[in-house]
Homo-oligomer: A and B are copies of this chain.
C-alpha cells in the first residue's frame, strides 16, 4: 500500500532549506563574520527574522550549514569509500607478500584519491573550503560534526588502504603521516588555490587541469607506496 509521506509542515521545511542553501553560498563566499543574516535572508527570499525562528540565530544556521555540507560530502566521497571498504572486509594482510599487497590495495587507493581530488577542486567545494579551513584553525562544534561524519570515516579508509599496501597497523603514526602527506597533495590545489593558478598560469582548475593533477598524485602516491613497502 504505497503512499507519499507528507513532510512535516511543508512551508517551514521549504524555508529552512532555502535558508541553508543561501547561507551556504554567503558564508562560503564571505566567511562567517562578514556574512550578514540580512544578506542570507535576502538570497533565500525569506524574512530575516525567520533565521531566529528556525535556527535560533546565526550560529545555529552556521551549524545547520555544516550538517548540510556533511550530507553532500558524504554523498560524493563516502559511497566510493565504503564500496572499497566492503571489498576488503575482514581480510588479513599478513599472508600476502609485497607485490600482492600493492597489487591489491594500491589501485583502489588511487581511485579513491581521484575522487577526493575531484571533489576538493570542484566548483561546489569552493564555498565549503573556506568554512572547513576556518574550523581547522579554530574548531567549534561544527568541526565535530564534520569530523565524525566525513573526516573520520574518510581518513579511516584511506589509512586502511595505505596500511594494507605498505603493511602495518592502520592507526600507527607512520601510516597516519603517510595518510596526511598523501591527502595534502590534493589539498594544496584548494588551500593554496591562488598561488597555484598564478604560477601555473591557469585561469581555473577545469577538467583538463584536474586530470593533470590527478595523474601527478597517482604517480606520486604509487612511488611513495612502493618505497614504503620496500622494507
Contacts and interface: CB of A to CB of B under 8 A. Distances in A.
Interface secondary structure of A, over-half rule: helix
Contacts of A192: 136, 180, 183-184, 187
A205 to B, nearest CB: 11
Q: A129, A183, A217, A224: which has the most chain B beta carbons within 10 Å?
A: A224
A29 to B, nearest CB: 8
Contacts of A226: 223, 227
Interface in A206-231: 212-213, 216-217, 219-220, 222-224, 226-228
A219 B227 contact: yes
Interface string A175-218: 01111110111111101111110111000000000001100110
Given A176-B200, A177-B212, A181-B220, A194 B135 contact: yes
A136 B191 contact: yes
A116 interface: no
Contacts of A186: 184
A135 B197 CA distance: 13
Each complex incorporates copies of this chain amounting to 2
A173 B199 CA distance: 10
Given A31-B33, A226-B227, 7 more contacts: A133-B137, A136-B193, A151-B195, A184-B188, A184-B189, A219-B228, A223-B226
Interface of A: 30-31, 33-34, 129-130, 133-137, 139, 143, 147, 151-152, 155, 173-174, 176-181, 183-189, 191-196, 198-200, 212-213, 216-217, 219-220, 222-224, 226-228
30 contacts: A30-B33, A33-B33, A33-B34, A130-B134, A130-B137, A133-B133, A133-B137, A133-B191, A136-B191, A136-B194, A147-B195, A151-B198, A151-B199, A174-B216, A176-B199, A177-B213, A177-B216, A178-B216, A179-B199, A180-B188, A180-B189, A183-B188, A184-B185, A184-B187, A184-B189, A187-B188, A187-B191, A187-B192, A220-B220, A223-B226
